[in-house]
Each structure stands twice: as structure tokens, then as C-alpha cells.
Chain A
Amino acid sequence: MTFDWPTALPLIFAGLMGLAILIYVILDGFDLGIGILFSVAEDAEQDTMIAAIGPFWDANETWLVLAVGLLLVAFPLAHGVILTALYIPVFVLLVGLILRGVAFDFRAKVPAGKKHRWNRIFFLGSVIASLAQGYMLGVYVLGLDVGFGGIAFGALVALCLSAAYAAMGAAWVIYKTEGELQRKAVAWLSTALVLTALGMAAVSLATPFASPRIFAKWFVWPEMLYLSPLPILSALLFMWLWRQTFHLPKPDDRHALRPFLTLATIFALGFAGLAWSFYPFVVPDRLTIWQAASATESLAIILAGTVVVLPVIIFYSFYAYRVFGGKATDLTYD
């Protein structure tokens, strides 16, 4: 096979977009999850939980902007098809993100009496955004089919993705806090994990049956053998993590970051499975990444910038996380 740019560039951009979505789901996943967990936390605990995500949420959400941006700039045709098909859920997602994003800032600046209201809006926005993302994933998996089956399946995935985000949130709280709140987060994690596992199983089973093409991609020898580590490893990690929740927190706060990293790995495995199912389509069974891609010269100029800038972005993102490393302390502006 000879290498040529018009073939390679759309592929590279599909990879970059996938990476951006995965990073988004992991990073914004934990702060959306913390918003969901607001419903079961007390006032003082909410302050600590906010402090655990305060310096990060903005940068986390930027990965969504990048993912949508890459879809927009690299696959303009797909961007139009997907977003017009998902018009209402996209709108619901945006309302959720708006409410969550501003509530986060307002709650810290309004007079004390109004703080409670913004806390509730923060919870509401996080739940709305998570449900909308899950619903969109469900509908996308079924090939953007919005019949009754699509809606029902979308609703199931919506609940399960929200549970998955709650699990991420709980894992982040375990990492960033100590004492009573940390113990509570362990309990949250074990509950959310059950629902998360259910959701991943549902998506994994539904995807091949939604499309004969995807079925054929998975259940054929020897691909089945190469792919088997994805579900098996995910299941093992789930069980291991669930057992871990009976032993956390450990003395001296050992392994506090482990639940989060394990969950991130599970997300990555599930994501790899989805990517394999849909490749080479960007709109399931309708548009391949090459059909939907922008002109080669436009992709080339974006790639040139990306190659230079992306490592810098990753570097300073790490730096920001390091500056605010360790247990969460009260967030103040001074």
C-alpha cells in the first residue's frame, strides 16, 4: 500500500477527533459526575467538591469544543448530518452545559443567601448535559434512527452514561478529598459502577445487532480473537474495581488515584470498541470519513498547526493539573 495524503489525512483527523472525544469524556466526565453527585452531598461537602474541579473544568470542556471543532472543520458534511439529526438533544445538551458552566461561577460570587439556588442549578445542568450526551450516543449507535426503539435505547444509554459520569466524579472525589467525604464517595462509586457496567454491556450488545455490517465486523474469525481482549479486560477491570471499593480508603491514602485511572482505562477500552465498530464511517452506514472530509489542502494546514500546538497544549494542561495537585483546599481568589 502506498502512502498518499488524501487517504491519510482524513484518517489522522478521525483519530484526533476520537482522541479529543475520549479525553473530553474522561475529563469533563468527572466534573459532570461531581455535579450529579451534588444531589447526595451536603452543603459543606459541595464546597469541597467544587474546589476539587474549580481550576480544571474550563480546560476540560475545551476538549468538547475541540472535538466538535474537528468534526466541523475536518468532516463538514458529517457535522451537518449528525447535528441536524440530533437537533433537539444537542439543544438540551447546550442548555445543560450553559446552566452548569455559569452556575459554577455564579455560586461563588452571589450573596450567601442565593448560593443554594445556584447549587441546584449546577446539579440540574450537569444531569441534563449528561443525559443528553448519553441519549445522543445511543441514537448514534443505532445509526441516527429516531424511531421508538431509538428513543428507548437512547434513554437507557442516557441513564447509564450519567451513572458512568457519576462514577468518574466519585473516583475524582476519592482522589481529591479525605475523611468522611472520601468514605461517602467510595459508597457512591460502588453504586454507580453497577449501573455503568450495565450500560456498557447494553451498548456493546446493541451495537452489533443494530447493524449487520457491525455484526460482521465483530463476529468473524480471526477478528473475534483479536477483539476479545476488549470486552474481557473491561469486565475484569469492572469486577476488580468493584471489589476495591470494599477496601477503600486505604491507610495513608494509598492508591487513591487508582479508581479514577481504572475507570479511565475502561472508558478507553469501550471507546476503542465503538471506534472499531464504526470505522470507516463517520455517519453510521452513510458517510465514510473520506466522503465527509474537507479538502486535502485545508486538512494539511490544520494538521501542520496541530502537530506543533497539541504537544504544547498537553504540556501546559499537565502543568495546570500539577499546580492544583494534592487534596482539594478551599478555593479562593487570593
Chain B
Amino acid sequence: MDPLILSRMQFGANISFHILFPTITIALGWVLLFFKLRYNATNDSAWMRAYFTWVKVFALSFAMGVVSGVTMSFQFGTNWPGYMERVGNIAGPLLAYEILTAFFLEAAFLGIMLFGFRRVSNRVHTLATVLVAGGTTLSAFWIIALNSWMQTPAGFEMIDGKAHPVDWWAIVFNPSMPYRLTHMLLASGLTVSFLIAGLSALRYLTGDRSESMWKALRTGVFTAAILIPIQIFAGDQHGLNTLEHQPQKIAAMEANWNTGPNVPLVLFALPDEAAKENKFEIAIPDGASMVLRHSTSGIVPGLNDYPGLHPPVFPVFWGFRIMVGTGILMLIVSWSATFFLKRRHSLPRPLAILMVPMALSGWLATLAGWYTTEIGRQPWLVTGVLKTADAIGPVAGSHVALTLSIYLILYVLLLIAYLGVLVHLALKAAKDGDTSPLPGVMKTAMSQPVAGE
């Protein structure tokens, strides 16, 4: 068994599992802050109910993110020791700053945010929410900076085969970093808004018409409706940035084999790498040239310019299409739901039913986009600096096969349990509605920290 393929599958499985949860916590922290600030401003307990329902989702997602993130940090050493040996001087400080500035901040104030409502003043509790939300975002900043540097490295020099930092500003704010960070933060916002909208729609369908359900539903739908056009624009800009810095990735995304003008936009195809052509192609003439160069005679890079150095075409091509397709569906669903909520003050049943599976649309789009960009980096681990195959450690294939299978079983079971709890929490919130007593929401009770219980 080939340890390289198995290690790549294992890393792919781990990061796919891991990324699901930061994608939720990054934006959900800010949504919780929004709920909290609305409550502080209006004193309406429905906002606090929304907070309590969703803070549980935050806690669970955070725990899943922590444990899968710890796995990632160990895997650098167990499977990919060549990575830190070659580029550790650059990756190291970025990871260290993530742990120091973000990780501890989130972990320490999470306890107060979750359980401290009656132990600290309302103001401190709000502050803890701010710090946790800020921490998750800061965490994303450092990780995306490192990931972007691997895609578009800058600010370093090679000495004896090792990367040495020259300009930290150029390293952190490397050419693709601002685009990638924006795209990821918006993806997180969309994931969370569809999750909230979807689970609120589930509550709606079970007959829950409580104020906290409406508040969560509106928050989810309106946020999604605002973010999706911004995301489409940001994604387009990111694509142009990729065209400039990683043309071979664009060639794979478009499944374009020959560099030249008048390149069609391929809507459907089964790319065949051996034959260097597309089977069953359906395409819009000149489309890719128009989209990427805004002119039918615009030159679009082709895969044949990069023999042996372009990414596998099939997954990149299809990953990109799944992401874009999901995005279009998000646009349609969020805008129609906005229309009905704003104009009709109701939600048609078929739309509500559609919104329930759409609760996971953010995950689908994020994963598809992530595969597009990460597989699109191959065969490089760090573009032009280190090939993935050169970073692998001396681990036996059988060991990786064993650990990979157990990880996969564990991840599937945990995902089932996680989704089960999400539905359980939504149905429980629907059952409780706005009638059950909500301890501790009176401001007078909260301003007294309970000491020495």
C-alpha cells in the first residue's frame, strides 16, 4: 500500500472533517454576539432564547473543531515531517501566533460564555462573547495566511533547501491571502446563516410559531440574502487572482487543455487526462474567455502548458462546479425566502421544506470549494517550493491504512451524532417555544455575580 496516497487520503479526510466546524464557529460567534446585543438593547427574552439555543450548537461545534484540530497538528509530524523541515521557519511562526493569540483566547472565554451567564455581569458576559467571536476569526486569519502562503508563496528565500523568512509582511499578506480570507469568512457566514435558517424552518414545520423561532429564522434568511451576492463577487475576484498566480489551477477548473483565445465555458464534461480531452462536453462558446478576460479573444491558460505539473483535472473541475451550483441555489432560496418574509410575513411550506436540507448547503459549498483550491495546488504542497511527494515521512503504508480506516469510522459516527444533536436541539427548542421559564434573564439577577457557591 502506497503511504503517499494513503497519507493524502488521511490528511484529506481529517481536514475535511475539521473544516466543517470552524466554518460554523467563525461566523456563529458573531451571530451570537448579534443576539446578545439585540437582547441588551431591547430586553426581549426571545433574543436570549435564540442565544441559548445556538450557544449549544456553538459549544458542540467548537469541541468538534478542537479535537479534530489537535489531530491535524499532530499529523504534520506523524505523516508529513518534510513539510516542517523545509518550510517550518515560515509555517512555524504563523501556527504559533494562531495558538498564542487566538486559540487560548477562545478556549478561556468559552467557559464564561457558556456557563458564566449568572456568574459574571451582563457586560462581562457580552465581552466574553466578543472575545470568543474575535478569537475564532483571528484563528481563521492565521490559518488562511499560512494556507495562502502555501498557494502563493512570497517574502522568503531558499538557503540549503530550507525556506527562510525575509519579509513577514509579504509572507502574511501574500498575493492570494486577502481574497482567500474574504472568501472563507463569507463562506462561514453563509454556512451559519443557512444552518440557522434551515433548523428554524424545521421548527416552523413542526408548528413552532414562537418569537425566538421567527427571530432566528429572519436572522438566518436575511444574512444569507445579503452575503450571497457579496460572495459571488468575492469569488469572482478570487478566481481572477488565481488566474494571475496559479494559471494551471484555472486551466483545471475550466478543463481547458490548450492555451488560446475563444475558450468556451464548459458546463458539463467528463475530463479525461490520459486522452487530454473532455468527453460529453456541453459548453458556451467563448464563455471562459469572457468570464476570465472579459473578451472573446482573451487568452485562457491550458493544461498542456504544464505537463506533469498540473493538478488532477476531474476533482478540480467538478469541485468548482458543485461550489458554484450550490451558490446559485443559495441565491435563489435566500432571496425568495426574503421576499416571502418581508412582503407576505409568512413562509410557504414547500420553501420551508427545501430550506431544511439547505441547512447543510454551506458545508457542501465549502468542501467543494476547498477541494477545488487544495487539489488545484497539486502536485505542489507549497507552490514551486515543495512537492507533496517530498514531504512524506517514513511511515509504513499498513499503519496509515489502519489509522485511516479507524478515523473514517470515527468521523462518520461523530457526524451522525452531531447532526442528530442539531435536530434534537431544534425540536427541543420548538417544543419549549417561548413559554417555558428562562432562568437568569432578568437583568437584576445577572448583575450579581454569584460568588463562593
What is the interface of chain A, defined by CB distance below 8 A to chain B?
Answer: 54-56, 58-59, 61-62, 64-66, 68-74, 76-77, 79-84, 86-88, 90-91, 93-95, 97-99, 101-102, 104-106, 109-111, 294-295, 297-298, 301-302, 305-306, 309-310, 313, 316-317, 319-320, 323-327, 329, 331-334
Known: A324-B116, A334-B52. A69 touches B96 (CB 8 A): yes
What is the interface of chain B, defined by CB distance below 8 A to chain A?
Answer: 48, 52, 55-56, 59-60, 62-64, 66-71, 73-74, 76-78, 81-82, 84-85, 88-93, 95-97, 99-101, 103-105, 107-112, 114-120, 162, 164-165, 168, 393-395, 399, 403, 406, 410, 414, 417, 420-421, 424-425, 438-441, 449, 451-453
**C-alpha gap A80/B395 in the complex (Å):** 11
Chain A nearest CB from B256 CB (Å) reads 39
- CB neighbours (8 Å) of A97 from chain B are 67, 70
A55 near B114: Cβ-Cβ < 8 Å: yes
Known: A302-B96, A310-B100. A98 touches B67 (CB 8 A): yes
Chain B nearest CB from A112 CB (Å) reads 11
Chain B residue with Cβ nearest A325: B452
**C-alpha gap A310/B104 in the complex (Å):** 10
**C-alpha gap A326/B112 in the complex (Å):** 15
- CB neighbours (8 Å) of A316 from chain B are 104-105, 108-109
Known: A109-B421, A323-B112. A72 touches B77 (CB 8 A): yes
B84 near A80: Cβ-Cβ < 8 Å: yes
Chain B residue with Cβ nearest A100: B67
A320 near B112: Cβ-Cβ < 8 Å: yes
Q: A55-B116, A82-B77, A320-B111 are in contact. List 15 more A-B contacts (CB 8 A).
A: A59-B108, A62-B104, A69-B99, A72-B88, A73-B91, A90-B78, A91-B78, A93-B74, A109-B56, A309-B101, A313-B104, A316-B105, A323-B116, A334-B48, A334-B117
Chain B residue with Cβ nearest A117: B417
**C-alpha gap A298/B170 in the complex (Å):** 15
Known: A301-B165, A323-B120. A76 touches B103 (CB 8 A): no
**C-alpha gap A319/B399 in the complex (Å):** 43
A94 near B95: Cβ-Cβ < 8 Å: no
A324 near B119: Cβ-Cβ < 8 Å: yes
A54 near B111: Cβ-Cβ < 8 Å: yes
Q: Which of B63, B89, B120 contacts A105 (CB 8 A)?
A: B63
A76 near B92: Cβ-Cβ < 8 Å: yes
Chain B nearest CB from A50 CB (Å) reads 11
Known: A79-B84, A94-B74, A333-B55. A73 touches B111 (CB 8 A): no
Q: Which of B56, B74, B100, B441 contacts A313 (CB 8 A)?
A: B100
Please indicate which of the listed interface residues B64, B93, B420, B421 has the most CB atoms of chain A within 10 Å of its own CB.
B93
Chain A residue with Cβ nearest B98: A69
A-B residue pairs, 9 tightest by C-beta: A80-B81, A73-B92, A55-B111, A83-B77, A76-B88, A76-B84, A101-B67, A59-B107, A105-B63
- CB neighbours (8 Å) of B101 from chain A are 305, 309
Please indicate which of the listed interface residues A69, A297, A310, A325 has the most CB atoms of chain B within 10 Å of its own CB.
A69
Chain B residue with Cβ nearest A62: B107
Known: A325-B452, A334-B52, A334-B441. A61 touches B70 (CB 8 A): yes
Q: Which of A54, A65, A87, A102 contacts B103 (CB 8 A)?
A: A65
Chain B nearest CB from A324 CB (Å) reads 7
* A–B pairs, 11, beta carbons within 8 Å: A55-B114, A59-B107, A61-B107, A72-B88, A73-B95, A76-B85, A101-B66, A305-B100, A306-B96, A334-B117, A334-B438
A68 near B73: Cβ-Cβ < 8 Å: yes
Chain A residue with Cβ nearest B53: A333
Chain B nearest CB from A308 CB (Å) reads 9
Known: A66-B99, A83-B78, A320-B112. A294 touches B88 (CB 8 A): yes
A109 near B60: Cβ-Cβ < 8 Å: yes
A305 near B89: Cβ-Cβ < 8 Å: no
Chain A nearest CB from B394 CB (Å) reads 6
Chain A residue with Cβ nearest B110: A58
**C-alpha gap A295/B88 in the complex (Å):** 9
- CB neighbours (8 Å) of B95 from chain A are 69, 72-73
Q: Which of B52, B107, B109, B441 contacts A333 (CB 8 A)?
A: B52
**C-alpha gap A88/B52 in the complex (Å):** 40
A84 near B66: Cβ-Cβ < 8 Å: no
B108 near A64: Cβ-Cβ < 8 Å: no
- CB neighbours (8 Å) of B76 from chain A are 72, 79
Q: Which of A79, A99, A298, A324 contacts B93 (CB 8 A)?
A: A298
Q: Which of B97, B165, B453 contacts A305 (CB 8 A)?
A: B97
- CB neighbours (8 Å) of B99 from chain A are 62, 65-66, 69
**C-alpha gap A48/B424 in the complex (Å):** 24
Q: Which of A84, A319, A326, A334 contacts B453 (CB 8 A)?
A: A326
Known: A84-B393, A320-B108. A58 touches B62 (CB 8 A): yes
A61 near B108: Cβ-Cβ < 8 Å: no
- CB neighbours (8 Å) of A298 from chain B are 88-90, 92-93, 164-165
**C-alpha gap A323/B449 in the complex (Å):** 9
- CB neighbours (8 Å) of B62 from chain A are 58
Chain B nearest CB from A52 CB (Å) reads 12
Known: A79-B76, A84-B77, A87-B78. A110 touches B424 (CB 8 A): yes
**C-alpha gap A100/B2 in the complex (Å):** 32
**C-alpha gap A32/B145 in the complex (Å):** 34
**C-alpha gap A332/B165 in the complex (Å):** 48
